[in-house]
Chain A
Amino acid sequence: MNVTIVDYNSGNISSVINSFKEVAKDKVNIEVTSDLNKIKSSDKVVLPGQGSFKSCVDALHKINGLVDTLNLFTINDKKPLLGICVGLQMFADVGYEETETKGLGWISGKVSKIDNQGGKFKLPHIGWNQLNILKDSKILKDIKNNSHMYFVHSYEFVPEDKNVITTTTDYSSDIVCSVERENIFGTQFHPEKSDKIGLKIIENFINL
């Protein structure tokens, strides 16, 4: 099996690569690339993302044909894709970080700044927070309710259809932590930085 981590200059992806390689060992081939043919032919794709919504979307579009390839992979071929952090946020129609920017539009909704209640809560939301599991998700197999995950973000994904939300976390309000819609998975937290329990989520995705 081939799992491809999309390398599109979206900031630091070393930790994502290290964690997937740790879980995959020699059983699964982990490829890190922006090569469209390799993405097309892979079994699963990971879309990381750090920095701002706009910078990540811009970086995706800078690679000729990448967005089309990703659309084909997820929407037409319905192969599993995992978005992490801004990688998840880009599923939305639109994001409001820096300036209004169009997202991939895979899951209807918007990405807006976390309401920190006039400074009552610090931003970014950095650190370990607990998952409140709302419904079963394939990537959350064997993950217990209230498990801690590592977060670092100031913006949140607000999907229109609340049914796609699988977990939330309690900060200044209930923040969407993970989503699932058919073959599309996303985590706002960083499974690659969430210790053994985060690696378990990566394992669940690889084993889908």
Chain B
Amino acid sequence: MLKNRIIPCLDVKNGRVVKGINFVDLKDAGDPVEQAKIYSDGGADEICFLDITASNENRDTIYDVVDRTSKKCFVPLTVGGGVRSVEDINKLLNCGADKVSINTAAVQNAKVVEDSSRKFGSQCIVVAIDAKRKDGGWEIFTHGGRNSTGINALEFASRMEKCGAGELLVTSMDKDGTQSGYDIELMQKISSMVNIPVIASGGVGTLEHLVDGIKAGASAVLAASIFHYGTYSVNEAKQYLASKDIPVRI
């Protein structure tokens, strides 16, 4: 049986982890490679890096991080943040990323999704959707949630599936950072509408929230803070899901 995936996400800025794990045995708490290794050794089904480097000059640091991580972690590695073009995707894949997540570029130019999924295969193209509630629906935002677009999130999700996205990473901006749980209605709507896997993101504060995300139809659940701050380990999360009869890899 296919298992539901748990994906810890690390925010990386200028090659360093922004919110780190406060583990005593870490040599360097800011090193994404070391943290990714801890997650993968702990049973993470995939690792996600979100590059939040502000300036273009420091963009190259992510390539080095991906390169070093992929030599140590033998579970799938997804990298997102600042991906603009097919060439950016190519570079990340060559460094050892297994999947690349595209956000702003996908909204501005759907052809990037079409071209890259044709060139590299749908399996490595993840479209990240940042959605915010508006007038009884959801609107998508770009540039890390700063710019509104007027585009309906559900229509956009459907369009991205047609363009060749292999997965959708759906983040609720209303919920992100609140630790009050995923936007369940949003996850339900998108998962039932598309036929590709949905990764739920934004708002996890407890292990029960992970259960809710899977029950809403997501194939995978992504979380940052609960793992960063050591509130729960990936293994604890898995044990909890298993205790609620949700199939996970243990």
A positions within 8 Å CB-CB of B: 11-12, 14-15, 18-19, 21-22, 50-52, 55, 116, 119, 122-130, 148, 150-154, 170-171, 192-196, 198-199
| Smallest CB separation, B114 vs chain A (Å) | 14
Q: How far is the CA of A152 from the CA of B75 in the complex (A)?
A: 12
Q: Which residue of B lies closest to A151 (CB)?
A: B2
Q: What 1/0 mask marks residues of chain B from 115 to 132 whose CB sits below 8 Å from any chain A CB?
A: 000011111100000000
Please state if B167 and A14 are interface contacts (CB–CB under 8 Å): no
A52: chain B residues within 8 A (beta carbon): 121
B249 cross-chain contacts in A, Cβ below 8 A: 128, 148
Beyond A55-B121, A124-B196, A129-B2, 9 extra complex contacts between A and B, CB < 8 Å: A12-B124, A22-B71, A22-B74, A50-B120, A51-B120, A126-B167, A127-B45, A193-B74, A196-B74
Per the bound structure, the CA–CA distance linking A123 and B97 in Å amounts to 21
What are 11 residue pairs bridging A and B, where the CB atoms are less than 8 Å apart in the complex?
Answer: A12-B94, A14-B94, A14-B97, A19-B74, A116-B195, A123-B196, A124-B122, A127-B45, A150-B75, A152-B123, A152-B166
Given contacts A122-B196, A124-B122, A126-B197, contact A195 B40 (CB under 8 A): yes
Whether B1 sits at the interface, judged by CB under 8 Å, is yes
B30 at the interface (CB under 8 A from A): no
CB neighbours (8 Å) of A124 from chain B are: 122-123, 166, 196-197
Q: Which of A12, A116, A130, A192 contacts B1 (CB 8 A)?
A: A130
B56 to chain A, nearest CB (A): 24
Cβ contacts B54-96/A at 8 Å (1 or 0 each): 0000000000000000110011100000000000000001111
Contact partner, B121, options A21, A51, A119, Cβ 8 Å: A51
Q: Which of A15, A52, A151 has the most CB of B within 10 A?
A: A15
List B contacts of A126 (CB < 8 A). Answer: 123, 166-167, 197, 219
A151, B5: Cα distance in complex, Å: 12
For the A-B complex, the count of residue pairs with Cβ-Cβ distances under 8 Å equals: 98
Sorted from nearest, which 3 A-B pairs have the closest CB atoms? A51-B121, A12-B93, A14-B96
Q: Chain A contacts of B167 at CB under 8 A?
A: 126
Cα A119 to Cα B192 in complex, Å, equals: 10
Instruction: Say whether B34 faces chain A, with CB atoms less than 8 Å apart.
Output: no
Chain B interface extent, by class:
20 to 34
Given contacts A126-B123, A126-B197, contact A148 B3 (CB under 8 A): yes
**A122-B195, A196-B74 known; A14 vs B3 contact (CB < 8 Å):** no
Of the candidates A51, A151, A153, A195, which one forms a contact with B74 in the assembled complex, judged by CB atoms under 8 Å apart? A195
The A interface is mostly helix, strand or loop, or mixed, namely: mixed
Residue of A nearest to B199 (CB): A126
Contacts of A12 in B (CB 8 A): 93-94, 97-98, 120, 124
Q: A12-B98, A116-B195, A122-B219 are in contact. Are A127 and B74 (CB under 8 A)?
A: no
Q: Contacts of A195 on B, CB cut-off 8 Å?
A: 40, 74-75
In the bound complex, residues from chain A placing their C-beta under 8 Å from that of B1 are 129-130, 170
In the complex, A148→B136 CA distance in Å?
Answer: 41
**Does any Cβ of A come within 8 Å of B220's Cβ?**
yes
How far in angstroms is the closest Cβ of chain A from B75? 6
Given contacts A124-B166, A126-B123, A193-B75, whether A14 and B45 have CB atoms under 8 Å apart is no
A122 to B120, CA, bound (A): 20
**Shortest distance in angstroms between B68's beta carbon and chain A's nearest beta carbon?**
10
A119–B161 CA distance with the chains assembled, in angstroms: 14
Least distance between B40 CB and chain A CB atoms (Å): 7
